[in-house]
Structure 1
Amino acid sequence: MTDPTDSSPSGQAAPPESVARPAQAPAGFLAAMARRLRQPLPGAQPRLRFDLPPEQLDDADAALEDTEETRFGRPGPRISAQHPLYVGFMGTVGVGVALLVYWIGSNITQLLLWILTALFIALGLDPVVRWLEKRKVPRPAGILVSVAVLALAVAGFFATLIPTIVAQVTQIVQEAPKWIQDFIDSDFFRGLDSQFGVRDRITQELEKFVNNPDAMGGIFGGVVGVGSTIANGLFGALIVLVLSLYFLSAMPSMKLWGYRLAPRSRRPRVEALSEEITGSVGNYVIGQVCVALLNALFAFIVMTIVGVPFAVLLAFVVALLAFIPLVGGMIAGILVTLIALTAGWQTAVVFAICYFAYLQFEAYFVSPRIMQKAVAVPGAVAVISVIAGGSLLGVLGALIAIPTAAAIMLLVKEIFIVRQDKH
């Protein structure tokens, strides 16, 4: 006789629940294991808690806290941002980070100057590269042409400068013994020697100097220092050349990456301002190069006509000094005039009149036409920026002072003044 509770068609007894639904066995087993793991071990002591008394919370915060405690367990106490301990700790961390940044910056100052110089050169050559691109020249070819012309100009400068210096130093060394002997045989030196014993005193000092190992070591150290300075200069020139190539090739991608740092709604405005700033810097660099070349060419012609010695070397010096805005041409004129005095005061006067007259012509007619595409900077701001840049970074600071001042003035005009006009 069958069981009335049997619902199977064959009349057999129904299998147990564990056999009828085997899929629930792993879930039940895991749940049992989880409950067993939550139970404390036999003989274990409860852990002491040092929580602060809970604060009064509203219903939303209480519900959120209950949810967080259910998911992650009860959180520990939180320290307020205004707590003196928190403020002191974060202030100490900030001072430490600032000192670390200062230490890193002070140890890589030379590298930063190289990077800044390469970026300045790249911004100056970028308009030339873009001009070549408009003439159907690929950008890589335009970069190679621009950098090759710059490298050849620098190499030509050193190729002309170094032989001239070597020739002049050799001439001085060859003529120095004759000059010294003529001075010793002069009546003036004989009178001094008879009254003060100058000859014996000079002999004693020379013997002390030769027999002093520290003095001889100082001479050797000075020679080594000059050699290391020349080596560092050549290495720096190579680094600047390589970085200029990289900056020129990556200039479009660098600009796009920089624009992505601004919010999307302001990117068109940031892009317009950045393009205007970089364009003005490039135009300023190209214009300053043209002004310096014209200045040096005029000085070379005048020096050749009036007979100033070392005309080629001095023309290069004038070109370098002419890169410094406002005061560079004045310094070059004074320097060449003083050297021209060695050929006679008439030569110096003629050169000074011609050169300083050209500086006035350049200031009123040449520079305004060449610099018309660059951002204009008031005279007072230009003088202050050149002095400040020269004090901070030397010649490089004086060179980039006016473009930097122009960029700052443009930002103030387009951002700060526009914002102030709206209120």
Structure 2
Amino acid sequence: MQDHDSAPAGPDAAGDSGGAAPPPGPDPTVVARVRSWLAARRLPGPRPRPRFELRPPVTTAAGPPGTPASDGSPAGTQPAGAQHAGAQQAGLQQLRTVQWAHPVQLGFLLTFGVGLALLLFGIISANTQLLVWIGAALFIALGLDPVVRRIESWGAPRGVGVAAAVLMLAAILTAFFSILIPIVVDQTASFINDLPRMVSDFLESEFFHDLDSQFGIHDIAVNEVEKFIGDSANVTAVFGGLFGVGSAIVNTGFSVLIVLVLTLYFLATLPAMKYWAYRLAPASRRPRVEYLGEEITSSVGHYVMGQSVVAGLNGLVAFIAISIAGVPFGALLAFFAGLMAFVPLVGALTGGIVITLVALISGWQAALIFAAIYFIYLQVEAYFVSPRVMSQAVAVPGSVAVIAVIAGAALLGVLGALMAIPLAAAVMLVLREVLIPRQDRL
């Protein structure tokens, strides 16, 4: 008997068996194509639906990632300008949708913003004096910072430079209060005591008699004095003014103490303050902001130091001119000239005119000698002293300086006039380094 299991399975054997041929298997290439087609069109899986929707969905022109754009390119390959414009348009459409769909929410947000702005304005208005103290202290600290940095360049730590600058400032203030103040007080008292005699001498002078004969000045003056004395409200106002002067002196001393303490802290922590201020700028623009900040602070510091030197020289020259002319109250008038020289542009000229008018009491010769010496020095100062002393400060045009001084004096008085020029220099530096180059690139 023949073994069928061991028989060959060739085509002859299949034909001999008389059965049908088995069907061919699936083509692997076709299967792979079908699977890839199904994988490419597979539906996204289930996603959690948000429970609450405060805003209605906004349909924008941009589709999901990978969606082709209008020009046939994928969304991720669109230019940056087109993406920015699309995002801006989507934001505007979303804002319009919120405005129309949620008026209560929009009104609440607007009311909260206005209230927050009013609160901030109230806080600033209530602390105006503190802001003035902070500005004055920062102004003085920037003025002393060049001295500290010079000492640091010698290899000393900043603490040593701060201590040296503070000791120098304390020495100047001590010399001022111990030497100049007693002389000024004595001469002020002498001036007040001699004022009635000087007034009487003026009233008995031939010049006053000529004016009185033409205009009747004596009778007008007597009538006005009698009206002033006869009104009790004026006497009360005078005594109230005296008490007000006393309180003003106390407040001034307290303000000076606070400014000095803030100056010490600002001077010690100035590098850290500038570091954290620069960190507030974006990282891409931080080097530029740091450059501008260093330029502004350096310019303000050199301006303060230079103006102090110029004012000291001005007071010294005024004292020498007063001594040569033989005008009394030399220390008092020289102190006034140096104080007025701190006010840029118009301060020294105003002080010289006032001292010249006071010198007329001693005679026109004394006034002429003082005016000649002092105003010649002002020309030398304008063309030789100030350019050398202020060489490292930012130059400000004359018209801008005058406008800045007037505006600063109207806002903060003498302190505003002192701070006006550095602030104007800072604004001009920002305009020159930031705004003008940006306008040139447009």
Cα displacement string for residues 243-268 of structure 1 (whole angstroms, at most 9, x for unaligned residues): 00000000011111111111112211
Per-residue deviation, 1:181 = 9.6
1:68 maps to which residue?
50
1:38 maps to which residue?
none
1:293 maps to which residue?
312
Residue type matched to 2:363 in 1? G
| SS, match of residue 265 in structure 1 | coil
| SS, match of residue 374 in structure 1 | coil
Aligned residues: 348
1:127 maps to which residue?
146
Q: Name which one, 1 or 2, has greater alpha-carbon Rg.
A: 2
Distance 1:376 1:114, change over 3 A: same
Distance 1:91 1:170, change over 3 A: same
Cα distance in 2, alignment partners of residues 245 and 297 from structure 1: 28
1:140 maps to which residue?
159
1:230 maps to which residue?
249
Instruction: Identify unmatched segments of 5+ residues in structure 1.
Output: 1-58, 189-194
Per-residue deviation, 1:346 = 1.0
Per-residue deviation, 1:118 = 0.3
Instruction: Identify unmatched segments of 5+ residues in structure 2.
Output: 1-42, 57-94, 210-217
2:173 maps to which residue?
154
CA contact (8 A) 2:55 2:98 kept: no
**What are the within-5 Å matches in structure 2 for residues 337-416 of structure 1?**
337-416=356-435
Whether 1:264 and 2:246 are equivalent positions in the alignment is: no
1:6 maps to which residue?
none
CA contact (8 A) 2:321 2:373 kept: yes
| SS, match of residue 400 in structure 1 | helix
Cα displacement string for residues 305-361 of structure 1 (whole angstroms, at most 9, x for unaligned residues): 111211111111111111111111111111111111111111111211221121111
Cα distance in 1, alignment partners of residues 423 and 228 from structure 2: 53
Cα distance in 1, alignment partners of residues 272 and 196 from structure 2: 62
**What are the within-5 Å matches in structure 2 for residues 21-420 of structure 1?**
66-69=48-51, 74-75=52-53, 80-83=97-100, 84-160=103-179, 162-168=181-187, 170-171=189-190, 218-420=237-439
Residue type matched to 1:263 in 2? P
Cα displacement string for residues 5-25 of structure 1 (whole angstroms, at most 9, x for unaligned residues): xxxxxxxxxxxxxxxxxxxxx
Residue type matched to 2:384 in 1? F
Per-residue deviation, 1:414 = 1.3
Percent identity (aligned): 53
Per-residue deviation, 1:140 = 1.7
Cα distance in 1, alignment partners of residues 387 and 225 from structure 2: 58
Cα displacement string for residues 72-104 of structure 1 (whole angstroms, at most 9, x for unaligned residues): xx4456795424544444333333333322222
Which moves more between the two structures, 312-321 or 85-94? Answer: 85-94
Distance 1:89 1:199, change over 3 A: closer
Cα distance in 2, alignment partners of residues 381 and 205 from structure 1: 44
Per-residue deviation, 1:172 = 5.6
CA contact (8 A) 1:117 1:240 kept: yes
| SS, match of residue 325 in structure 1 | coil
TM-score by length of 1: 0.73
| SS, match of residue 244 in structure 1 | helix
CA contact (8 A) 1:157 1:316 kept: no
| SS, match of residue 327 in structure 2 | coil
Cα distance in 1, alignment partners of residues 328 and 115 from structure 2: 57
Per-residue deviation, 1:162 = 4.1
Cα distance in 1, alignment partners of residues 226 and 288 from structure 2: 76
Cα displacement string for residues 125-148 of structure 1 (whole angstroms, at most 9, x for unaligned residues): 001001011123332222122122
Residue type matched to 2:99 in 1? Q
Distance 1:398 1:182, change over 3 A: closer
| SS, match of residue 82 in structure 1 | helix
Distance 1:147 1:81, change over 3 A: farther
Cα distance in 2, alignment partners of residues 252 and 199 from structure 1: 63
2:440 maps to which residue?
421
Cα distance in 1, alignment partners of residues 284 and 336 from structure 2: 50
Cα distance in 2, alignment partners of residues 382 and 240 from structure 1: 26
Cα distance in 2, alignment partners of residues 260 and 200 from structure 1: 68
CA contact (8 A) 2:134 2:259 kept: yes
Distance 1:107 1:371, change over 3 A: same
